[in-house]
Structure 1
Amino acid sequence: MAVRMTLQTRLVLHALLQVPESELYGLDLIRATGLGPGTVYPILQRLERAGWLTSRWERVDPSDEARPARRYYALTGEGVRDGLRELAAAESRSGSLTNLLGSLPKEARGQA
């Protein structure tokens, strides 16, 4: 399934592709991209519907952890393959992601 490659989607994909074999939760991605939750979570939903991501809820007792359970996201093989291809194509059309990252808040630039 095709995914619309907005700047925000590119930033989320870039963050996920930094550790393609790992699972990240929403706050990880919010910090890495400098985007708000109202932007990140809809992108994650679109990527999951497209088959690029899987997600799972962590199995913890919130009272034992003193926090709510986290939802973890991981790239699928298709997500890695198509994500890399789409990022490369988008960057060739509109400039490198490195240049676009320069517009992020300073704390997000070091993590993305």
Structure 2
Amino acid sequence: MDIKTAAAMHRLRLISLPEAVSFLLLLVCSVLKRTTDFDAVPVMGMVHGVLFVLYVLFWADAWNRTRWSPGRAAGYFVLSVLPTGGFFAERMLRRESEASVIAARARREGVVNA
């Protein structure tokens, strides 16, 4: 994996957690708006919207650079629209990048799968 691909995956990993947290906070704010006088939905909606747009941009960049299959790319996109999906996306991306680092080191050291 080259440095630009690793950076694209790292950006996607970094944005997935804040995006997931903002989605959950937006849901809480929506419930509070309907049950109390507390109305933070406009602010939280904007924050979540910005983070979601960043997630989609970083997702598209990572998909372009990593050459994921359409199914894997769709999986990461679907995780972005689920309330807790960002947590799972971050974990999956971390495992994928760790595996690619191990594979790159093995290739560099000349280790061949037996």
- Normalising by the smaller structure, the TM-score range is 0.3 to 0.5
TM-score by length of 1: 0.32
| Structure in which a larger fraction of residues adopt helix | 2
TM-score by length of 2: 0.32
Decide which structure has the larger Cα Rg and report it: 2
| Structure in which a larger fraction of residues adopt strand | 1
